[in-house]
Amino acid sequence: MNHLLGNLATRMMLIIYLSIIFITGFFIVFAYYNDLALQEERQYDKLKALVSSAASAIDGDEHESLMNGYTRADTVVIGDDDRYQIVNAFLSNIVDANGLSTPMYTLVYDEALGGWYYGVRSGDYVDFKNVYQKAPKELTEQMETGGTIPIYESENGTWLSAFYPVKNRGGKVVALVEADIRFTEFQMVVNERYFKQVMMALGVIVLIALFLIPYARKVLRMDEKQKVVTLQQKAMIEEKNREIMASIHYALKIQKAMLPSVEMLKTEGIDGFVLHEAKDVVAGDFYWIEEYDDYLYFAVADCTGHGVPGAIMSILCTTAMNKVVDLMGIRDTGKILDEVRRIIVERLEKSGGEVKDGMDIAICRLDKKTKKMQYSGANNPIYIFKKATEEMEVAKPCKQPVGKHIKEHPFACKEFQLEKGDVVYLFTDGYADQFGGENGKKLKYKPFRELLFSSKHLSMSEQKKLLNSSLKDWMGGFEQVDDICVMGVRMEE
C-alpha cells in the first residue's frame, strides 16, 4: 500500500478511481430522482392531455343547463338524465381507454358557497353536487386556463391532478374537468426498474474503472469539442432570438403607425384619452377614430388572440372598418359592423377550414353639433356617465362577435343624447380580467366601473394616469394576462 501511495502516477490513478466511485454513486442517486421527476412530468402531461380533450368535447351549455336543472337532493334521478349519461359515458370511456385507476369528474364553482362541488363523475357512483372538501387553490386561480395541482396528500394517498375548463358559447367557464392519478402507481414502477439498473451499474462501474483512465484524455478532448459546439449553438439561438425580437418591435412600430392619433378626440367641445397596453409587445386590442362630415367615430376592439397573431387580426379588422366607412360610405354603426363581419368572414374563409377568428367591439358615432351619439356593440358594452343625474349608465351590446357565429343577426343601434359634462367609456375585457390583489383574483367589472366613476371629476389626462397607476398597483407581481384598451370621451362644459 505504501508503495502504491508513494508513486505519483498510481496515487493519481487511485484518486481518479475513488472519484469515479463517488461520482457514480452521486449520479445513481441523482438519476433516480431525475427519473422520478420525469415520470411525474409524463403523468402530468398525460392528465393534461386527457382533461383538455375531454373539456373540449363536452358541451358547456348542456352541462350548465344540467347543473342548474337539479339540486343535490336529485342524486337518485340525475343518473337518468340523458345529458348526465352522455358525459358520464364519455368520461368513463376515457378512463377505460387510458387505464386510469381513478374516476374522472367535472367540478362546478359555486360563488355563494365560495367553493367547488362535483358535477358528473365517470363510473356508476353518482357524486352529484357534493362539496369538494379542501379544494386546492389552483382550481380557482387557474379556472380560466386550466392547469395542474402539485403533489398533495389526502387520507386516500398521494395524488397528482390536472384540470381544464369547460366553457359555454359565451366563453364563460361553467365547469372544470379533473383527472387524478396516485403518485405511488408510477413510483413503484420507477423503484422496480431502478433497482435492476443499480445492480447493473454497480457491476459495470468496476469494468469501467479498469478501462476509463487510458481513455480519459480522449474523452476530455471530445468533451471540449462538444462544449465548443454547444457554445456555437447557443450563440446562434441568441442571434435568432435577437432577430425575432427586432422583427416584433418593428411590427410594433407599424402597428403604432396604423393607430389613429388620440388628438382626434380633442376637438372643439370634446376631450378624451386612450389607455392601450399590449400583453406581448404588439396587441390584438386596438382603438379606431375617424372623422366624417360632422360625425366623430370612435371604437375600441378586442381581436382573437394577442401578440403577433392578434396584431395581424387587428390590422385585418382595422382595414375592413376603414374600407366600410371610407370607400363604401356606410355611416350607421350597426350596418358598419354587419359589413365588417361579412368582409372578415369572407377573407378568413379563403384559408380553408372553420373560421373562428374575429373581434369584440364597441363603436360610437357622435354628432359633434347636436351631441347625439349612436352606439353598436359586439359583446362589448359601454359606460356613460350622465352628469345631470350623477349616474353611470350601462349600454349593453349584441351577444355575438364580429365574425363567424352560430346565430348571426344584424347588429342593433342605440342612440343617446349627450350633454355637457357627460363621459363615454369604451373598453375591452383586459382591464377587468386582470389578476392581482392579495388573493390573485380578477379585478372584475364592478370595481372597474367604480374606479371610472370615482375619477369622473378629473381631466381626461388625469383619468388615464389614475387608471394606469391603479392597474399597476392591482397587478403587483402578477403578469399581465391580456391586452388592455380603455377609451374615455368627454363632452366639455
CA 34/CA 40 separation, integer angstroms:
10
Same domain, 278 and 391: yes
* pLDDT (0 to 100) of residue 168: 93
Same domain, 177 and 294: no
Residue type, 370: T
Residue 307 has pLDDT above 60, yes or no: yes
Give percent of the chain with pLDDT exceeding 90: 45
CA 448/CA 485 separation, integer angstroms:
13
Is 338 part of any domain?
A: yes
Task: Provide the CATH number for the domain around residue 374.
Answer: 3.60.40.10
Same domain, 180 and 271: no
User: How high is the mean pLDDT of the chain?
Assistant: 84
Query: Is residue 276 within 8 Å of 304, Cβ to Cβ?
Result: no
Residue 131 has pLDDT above 50, yes or no: yes
CA 409/CA 418 separation, integer angstroms:
28
Total domain count for the chain? 2
Same domain, 181 and 277: no
Report CA-CA distances (Å) from 114 to 79, 108, 117, 398: 26, 11, 10, 30
* pLDDT (0 to 100) of residue 157: 74
Is 162 part of any domain?
A: yes
Same domain, 143 and 38: yes
Domain that holds residue 384: 259-491
412-435 burial, b at 16+ Cβ within 10 Å, e below that, comes to ebbebebeeebbbbbbbbbbbbbb
Residue 30 has pLDDT above 80, yes or no: no
* pLDDT (0 to 100) of residue 208: 63
Is 197 part of any domain?
A: no
* Residue ending a domain, choose from 159, 186, 213: 186
Mean pLDDT on 466-484: 91
Residue 128 has pLDDT above 60, yes or no: yes
Top-confidence residue, 266 or 452: 452
CA 44/CA 65 separation, integer angstroms:
30
Is 58 part of any domain?
A: yes
Task: State the cell numbers at 395.
Answer: 349600454
Query: CA geometry: angle at 455 spanning 449 and 458, to 5°?
Result: 150
Mean pLDDT on 380-396: 93
Question: Which of the residue ranges 69-78, 145-154, 241-250, 439-448 would you say has the lowest mean pLDDT?
Answer: 241-250
Question: Which of the residue ranges 28-32, 437-441, 472-476 would you say has the lowest mean pLDDT?
Answer: 28-32
Query: Is residue 161 within 8 Å of 47, Cβ to Cβ?
Result: yes
Task: Provide the CATH number for the domain around residue 38.
Answer: 3.30.450.20
The pLDDT confidence band at residue 435, using thresholds 50, 70 and 90, is: very high
pLDDT digits (tens, 9 = 90+) for 172-228: 999 999 998 887 777 777 777 777 767 777 776 677 666 655 644 454 455 567 767
Is 107 part of any domain?
A: yes
Q: What are phi and psi of 278, to 5 degrees?
A: -80, 145
Q: Of 293, 299, 300, 358, which Cα lies nearest the Cα of 329? A: 293
Same domain, 283 and 176: no
* pLDDT (0 to 100) of residue 469: 93
Is 459 part of any domain?
A: yes
* pLDDT (0 to 100) of residue 3: 40
CA 392/CA 453 separation, integer angstroms:
7
Residue 58 has pLDDT above 80, yes or no: yes
The pLDDT confidence band at residue 17, using thresholds 50, 70 and 90, is: low
pTM higher than 0.85: no
Report CA-CA distances (Å) from 464 to 440, 467, 471, 489, 493: 24, 5, 11, 11, 19
Q: What is the 3-state secondary structure (H, E, C) of the chain?
A: CHHHHHCHHHHHHHHHHHHHHHHHHHHHHHHHHHHHHHHHHHHHHHHHHHHHHHHHHCCHHHHHHHHHHCCHHHHHHHCCCHHHHHHHHHHHHHHHHCCCCCCCEEEEEECCCCEEEEEEECCCCCCCCCECCCCCCHHHHCCCCCEEEEEEEECCEEEEEEEEEEECCCCCEEEEEEEEEEHHHHHHHHHHHHHHHHHHHHHHHHHHHHHHHHHHHHHHHHHHHHHHHHHHHHHHHHHHHHHHHHHHHHHHHHHHHHCCCHHHHCCCCEEEEEEEECCECECCEEEEEEEECCEEEEEEEEECCCHHHHHHHHHHHHHHHHHHHHHCCCCCHHHHHHHHHHHHHHHHHCCCCCCCCEEEEEEEEEECCCCEEEEEEEECCEEEEECCCCEEEEECCECCCEECCCCCCCCCCEEEECCCCCEEEEECCCCCCCEECCCCEECCHHHHHHHHHHCCCCCHHHHHHHHHHHHHHHHCCCCCCCCEEEEEEEECC
Same domain, 297 and 160: no
Same domain, 143 and 279: no
Q: What are phi and psi of 332, to 5 degrees?
A: -75, 130
Same domain, 306 and 445: yes
257-281 burial, b at 16+ Cβ within 10 Å, e below that, comes to eebbebeebeeeebbbbbbbbbbbe
Query: Residue 115: is it exposed, middle or buried by C-beta count within 10 angstroms (0-12/13-18/19+)?
Result: middle
Top-confidence residue, 274 or 314: 274
Same domain, 269 and 172: no
* Residue ending a domain, choose from 135, 167, 186: 186
In the block, residue with C-alpha cell 402531461: 45
* pLDDT (0 to 100) of residue 485: 93
pLDDT digits (tens, 9 = 90+) for 239-287: 787 777 676 666 666 666 678 888 888 887 899 999 998 888 777 889 9
Query: Is residue 430 within 8 Å of 285, Cβ to Cβ?
Result: yes
Is 282 part of any domain?
A: yes
Same domain, 314 and 170: no
CA 167/CA 61 separation, integer angstroms:
8
What is the rounded end-to-end Cα distance, in angstroms, of the chain? 102
Query: Residue 175: is it exposed, middle or buried by C-beta count within 10 angstroms (0-12/13-18/19+)?
Result: buried
Residue 392 has pLDDT above 80, yes or no: yes
pLDDT digits (tens, 9 = 90+) for 324-356: 988 898 999 999 999 999 998 888 887 665 667
Is 196 part of any domain?
A: no
* Residue ending a domain, choose from 166, 186, 206: 186
Same domain, 272 and 360: yes
